[in-house]
């Protein structure tokens, strides 16, 4: 299966080779041209936007910058983003471990179809990811009529007495976040566990360990870096998701706005300093993600060469 939104965990990446022997080297002027093109492209399209976030955020000084975080709506947006990620990431982590255990450790019919289906959310536009939850849980949707307080004799008493709102409320935001980050952990773990094989688990079982002991003491230590890699990418996407969350949120200030949605509101109100100040938090999260990611890749390379 393909990498539809993430770079793969570097199980498959070979070490980068330095400049080769003389005959396979490009002439110096070709190297200068290639370097100039590559670096200016990366500079204009990647580095400049990142720098711009911080410069725009500090345009009116540190006072205005920190003032943006004093706004109660901003704080509630930050809290909601953290909440959504705190539910979505562990949920997809447990799923990723279960999925990779059955796919990588066993042979069964329909395995490749299952692997393809797990990647499906990456092929779906974020807007559509939100829309499908509106179709299921919205007022006009499948379950809509049963979610409000009412008299449905075959539903539990608790459900009949409570108004359960999913769309335009926090549960919808959490569900949409789970959907868009669904494959992240599984797709890092499956190839990793497949290359590791089952031999160590067999040895543990032979020595008398039970299933959980084998998992905790043998499998988990082997996959921990791949797992961490999947989790940080999953987390970055969970905190930054915009399209899907925008459809299900309802944009109620102070209640159902996540950080990216709050940025949109501030930006549309021409409150640029505050918009970029909140953005700078997410940009810092992005930078930390990139640093951790490079660190794990570097560690992996070290382990491979030693």
252 within 8 A of 169, measured Cβ to Cβ: no
Q: Cβ contacts of residue 215 below 8 Å, gap of 6+? A: 101
Range in contact with another protein (rule: CB under 8 A) among 153-161, 163-171, 187-195, 273-281: 273-281
By the rule CB under 8 A, 252 interacts with another protein: no
By the rule CB under 8 A, 226 interacts with another protein: no
Which of 170, 189, 190, 233 contacts another protein by CB under 8 A?
A: 233
Range in contact with another protein (rule: CB under 8 A) among 34-42, 72-80, 153-161, 220-228: 34-42
How far is Cα 213 from Cα 104, in angstroms, rounded to an integer?
A: 18
Residue closer to another protein by CB (options 106, 157) is: 106
State the nearest-atom distance from the C-beta of 151 to another protein, in Å.
25
How far is Cα 50 from Cα 45, in angstroms, rounded to an integer?
A: 9
Which of 61, 66, 75, 128 contacts another protein by CB under 8 A?
A: 128
Q: Which residue has the tokens 């497949």?
A: 194
Write out the binding residues for another protein, residues 141-170 only, by CB under 8 A: 141-142
Residue closer to another protein by CB (options 27, 153) is: 27
286 within 8 A of 236, measured Cβ to Cβ: yes
Size of the site for another protein (CB under 8 A): 118
Residue closer to another protein by CB (options 143, 155) is: 143
Total residues found in the chain within this entry: 306
How far is Cα 207 from Cα 286, in angstroms, rounded to an integer?
A: 44
Nearest to 90 by CA among 78, 82, 80: 82
Write out the binding residues for another protein, residues 191-220 only, by CB under 8 A: 198, 201-202, 205, 210-211, 214-215
């Amino acid at each position: 299966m393909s990498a539809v939104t993430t770079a793969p965990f570097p199980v498959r990446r070979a070490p980068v080779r330095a400049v080769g022997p003389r005959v396979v080297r490009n002439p110096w002027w070709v190297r200068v041209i290639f370097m100039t093109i590559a670096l200016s492209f990366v500079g204009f399209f990647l580095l400049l936007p990142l720098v711009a976030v911080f410069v725009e955020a500090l345009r009116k000084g540190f006072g205005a910058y920190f003032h943006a975080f004093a706004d109660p709506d901003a704080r509630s947006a930050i809290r909601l983003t953290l909440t959504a990620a705190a539910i979505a990431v562990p949920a997809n982590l447990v799923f990723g471990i279960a999925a990779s255990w059955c796919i990588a450790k066993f042979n069964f019919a329909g395995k490749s179809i299952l692997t393809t289906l797990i990647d499906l959310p990456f092929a779906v536009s974020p807007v559509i990811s939100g829309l499908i939850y509106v179709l299921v849980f919205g007022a006009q949707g499948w379950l809509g009529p049963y979610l409000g307080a009412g008299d449905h004799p075959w539903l539990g008493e608790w459900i009949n007495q409570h108004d359960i709102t999913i769309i335009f409320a926090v549960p919808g935001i959490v569900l949409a976040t789970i959907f868009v980050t669904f494959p992240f952990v599984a797709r890092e773990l499956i190839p990793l566990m497949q290359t590791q094989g089952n031999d160590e688990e067999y040895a543990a079982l032979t020595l008398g360990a039970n299933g959980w002991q084998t998992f905790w003491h043998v499998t988990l230590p082997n996959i921990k870096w791949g797992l961490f890699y999947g989790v940080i990418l999953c987390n970055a996407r969970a905190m930054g998701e915009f399209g899907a969350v925008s459809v299900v949120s309802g944009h109620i200030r102070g209640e159902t706005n996540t950080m990216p949605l709050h940025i949109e509101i501030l930006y549309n109100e021409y409150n640029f300093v505050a918009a970029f100040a909140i953005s700078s938090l997410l940009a810092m999260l992005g930078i930390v993600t990139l640093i951790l990611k490079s660190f794990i890749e570097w560690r992996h390379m070290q382990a491979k060469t030693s």
